[in-house]
């Protein structure tokens, strides 16, 4: 008897997803910094047995200039297997690619040839503004009932920011997700506890707080985001605000436990006003309430003023600047990008209340400028990080956000993508044969792996 079967890249549980085939291709957002050329979505060969390993093998240019592509995601993923999912037979095929500057959405088809993706639909910013009230689109996640997109603010550059939803099939903008936002105004990332019917959101700043660069007066005044927000996912209502304290500035990337039976997750904080340290905080459920506590602190590193950009000379130190984190599918390894000091850290978070540092890789950095073992001197530092489903390969790029890049690396970031491997003994090392340089004026940002990765999917079964 004929039957429909789910997409083979969908897995009921994170445990099952860890046995998925190794990725052969990666997709990477490529940003033009000259302002005269369009951004692009690149395709990188990730197969070590291939003659084109570690090379760009495909590319699709955007139709407009000035998008600044950001955190793109798949149209569908393992959440389609949830019991309440109305779209169980969608497939992981389209990449939803937002422009954080333009508020434009690009729908990119990766089939029939995944090396030659093509744009099949563009949603213009005017449609986004009209239907949702939001602008400056940031992060895309595939949910069981639709495609969710976070936005930093309103069309006029102020707040509030929030989340809009796209239809799974037509990709049309359905509208604003929030029915009751409570005290929430700033927005950035979002994460789901599907087993708890809970959504967590984080905070950066409104568009007028970030688009011209980091504003020292706002930073020192504690005006950037310092809260987490807890939401009733089904009722779309704000439940609780968790304030980390105004000295904890820019509460950004969220990584919830992959096991849906676990009610906790991690968030990275870019900088503390007290001492320029960065930190990782744990949110967790206690009874009917949610709590948050700091579980990792990463100190600033001393540096001579002549090694520092003007923004930091007076401090005589390099802040770690934690700008991305990622969590393995078995909830064991937390990877932390320290973009300022040029370090990728790995922590064992099997006990989420007591993380242990288990690995470190140095590459780039504001002062250190640590070289790549195969390519030599580089600048920038570990920024966007993505992890293979089996936890054995870690890919990362070195550009944060065009205007902010120039404040912390004023000599200009020369774009690269690299790969670290974890051996059978658990040692983490850079692959000397994997180094993807980008042409002058282009910088890489978000990475997505063909078939899924550690941050692309949300699961409903333990």
- Closest by CA to 287, choosing from 244, 353, 240, 355, is 240
pLDDT tens sequence for the chain (462 residues): 344 778 999 999 999 999 999 999 999 999 999 999 999 999 999 999 999 999 999 999 999 999 999 999 999 999 999 998 776 678 999 999 999 999 999 999 999 999 999 999 999 999 999 999 999 999 999 999 999 999 999 999 999 999 999 998 999 999 999 999 999 999 999 999 999 999 999 999 999 999 999 999 999 999 999 999 999 999 999 999 999 999 999 999 999 999 999 999 999 999 999 999 999 999 999 999 999 999 999 999 999 999 999 999 999 999 999 999 999 999 999 999 999 999 999 999 999 999 999 999 999 999 999 999 999 999 999 999 999 999 999 999 999 999 999 999 999 999 999 999 999 999 999 999 999 999 999 999 999 999 999 999 999 999
Residue 34: count of CB within 10 angstroms of its CB: 9
Under a CB-based contact definition with an 8 Å cutoff, are residues 416 and 396 in contact? no
Q: Is the dihedral of CA 73, 74, 75, 78 positive or negative?
A: negative
Domains and CATH numbers, the chain: 14-449 (2.130.10.10)
Pairs from 164-168 (Cβ < 8 Å, separation ≥ 24): 164/128, 164/131, 164/132, 164/134, 166/96, 166/105, 168/75, 168/76, 168/87, 168/90
8: its two tokens: 């083979």
């Amino acid at each position: 008897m004929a039957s429909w079967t789910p997409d083979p890249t969908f897995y009921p549980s994170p445990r099952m997803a860890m046995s998925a085939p190794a990725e052969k291709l990666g997709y990477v957002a490529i940003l033009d910094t000259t302002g005269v050329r369009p951004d692009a979505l690149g395709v990188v060969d990730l197969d070590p047995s291939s003659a084109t390993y570690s090379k760009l093998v495909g590319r699709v240019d955007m139709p407009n200039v000035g998008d600044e592509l950001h955190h793109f995601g798949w149209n569908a993923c393992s959440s389609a297997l949830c019991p309440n999912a109305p779209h169980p037979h969608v497939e992981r095929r389209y990449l939803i690619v937002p422009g954080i500057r333009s508020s434009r959405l690009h729908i990119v088809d990766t089939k029939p040839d995944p090396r030659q993706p093509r744009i099949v639909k563009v949603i213009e910013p005017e449609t986004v503004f009209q239907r949702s009230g939001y602008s400056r689109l940031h992060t895309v996640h595939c949910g069981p009932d639709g495609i969710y997109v976070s936005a930093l603010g309103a069309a006029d550059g102020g707040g509030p920011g929030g989340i809009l939803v796209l239809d799974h099939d037509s990709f049309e903008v359905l509208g604003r997700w929030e029915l009751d936002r409570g005290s929430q105004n700033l927005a950035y990332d979002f994460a789901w506890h599907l087993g708890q019917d809970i959504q967590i959101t984080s905070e950066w700043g409104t568009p007028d707080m970030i688009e011209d660069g980091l504003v020292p007066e706002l930073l020192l005044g504690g005006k950037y985001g310092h809260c987490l927000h807890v939401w009733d996912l089904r009722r779309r209502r704000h439940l609780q605000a968790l304030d980390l304290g105004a000295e904890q500035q820019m509460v950004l990337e969220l990584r919830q436990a992959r096991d849906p039976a676990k009610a906790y997750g991690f968030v990275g904080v870019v900088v503390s006003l007290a001492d320029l340290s960065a930190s990782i905080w744990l949110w967790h459920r206690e009874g009917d309430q949610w709590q948050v506590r700091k579980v990792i602190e990463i100190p600033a590193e001393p540096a001579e003023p002549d090694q520092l950009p003007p923004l930091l000379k007076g401090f005589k130190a390099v802040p770690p600047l934690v700008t991305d984190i990622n969590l393995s599918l078995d909830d064991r390894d937390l990877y932390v990008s320290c973009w300022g000091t040029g370090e990728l850290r790995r922590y064992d978070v099997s006990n989420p209340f007591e993380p242990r540092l288990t690995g470190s890789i140095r590459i780039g950095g504001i002062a250190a400028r640590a070289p790549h073992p195969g390519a030599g001197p580089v600048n920038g530092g570990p920024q966007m990080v993505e992890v293979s489903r089996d936890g054995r390969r870690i890919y990362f790029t070195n550009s944060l956000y065009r205007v902010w890049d120039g404040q912390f690396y004023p000599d200009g970031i020369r774009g690269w993508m690299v790969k670290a491997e974890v051996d059978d003994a658990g040692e983490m090392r850079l692959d000397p044969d994997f180094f993807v340089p980008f042409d002058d004026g282009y910088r890489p940002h978000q990475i997505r792996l063909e078939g899924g990765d550690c941050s692309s999917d949300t699961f409903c079964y333990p």
